[in-house]
Amino acid sequence: MLKNNKIEEIIRDSLKKHEEQKREHYLFGRILVYIKDPVLPSINISSILGNIERLFPPHLMEEVDEIFIGSFGKNEERELEAHYDSGAIYITSDLPTDGDYIENIIHETAHAIEAQRGLEIYGDRRIEQEFLGKRERLASTIKSHGIDVSHLEFADPDYVPELDSFLYKEIGYDNLHSLTTGLFASPYGATSLREYFANGFEEFFLGNREHLKRISPELFNKLTGVILDEI
């Protein structure tokens, strides 16, 4: 009996080791997930993919063909955890938790959707107007603390490196978190219109939908349309 238990333990350990070392996985049986560089020992790729399949409607990932995990120049150059490009998501391999991978995959899927359906999402400018209104309120709040922001483009919905650097390096993430409470689902949503959409998309699936609906009704309504495929 002890011998049989030992054999079973060896088999389980062998299977676990094989799973950990496996480079190719599949999400929804279709999307290749390739481990280019080793992840941290605490990361469980199978668990990550299983959780996404339980949380996320597969039709929303139609624009994603591959997910690569490893070291990538664009991520390192721009200090990104992940980015989307031409049907593929590229994620750094040194993220500390399974949740970080799940958040990044969901977030970058939003960028995949907007790349295909940007006119439907942004064409009526309702999300843009909501976003810029929040940016204006954020600028006023920062000014009220005696900080000059007249040299920054708060009214530009696109990504502005100078504004991004100001918010995250001069204001600081902790301060920005308190300044954006009630305006954005997270401080990263203030970065640009595209990140506002993707951040809300992430919040819809992984955060508090009622809170998102309350603080960003136009974004919530548009997201509901995207998710129900009724834009």
Which domains occur in the chain, in start order?
A: 16-116 (3.30.2010), 123-227 (no CATH)
- Rounded distance between C-alpha atoms, residue 89 and residue 84, angstroms: 4
Residue 57 CB-half CA count within 13 A:
12
Query: Within 13 Å of residue 7, how many CA atoms lie on the same side as its CB?
Result: 4
Going residue by residue through the chain, which has 231 residues, state the pLDDT in tens, using 9 for 90 and above: 555 666 666 555 545 554 556 899 999 999 999 999 999 999 999 999 999 999 999 999 999 999 999 999 999 998 899 999 999 999 999 999 999 999 999 999 999 999 999 999 999 999 999 999 999 999 999 999 999 999 999 999 999 999 999 998 899 888 999 999 999 999 999 999 999 999 999 999 999 999 999 999 999 999 998 887 644
pTM of the model: 0.87
User: Which residues have C-beta within 8 Å of that of residue 125, sequence separation ≥ 6?
Assistant: none
* Residue 43 structure tokens: 């990361």
* Four-point Cα dihedral 110, 115, 120, 125, nearest 10: 80
Q: Rg of the chain over CA atoms, in angstroms?
A: 20
User: Residue length, the chain?
Assistant: 231
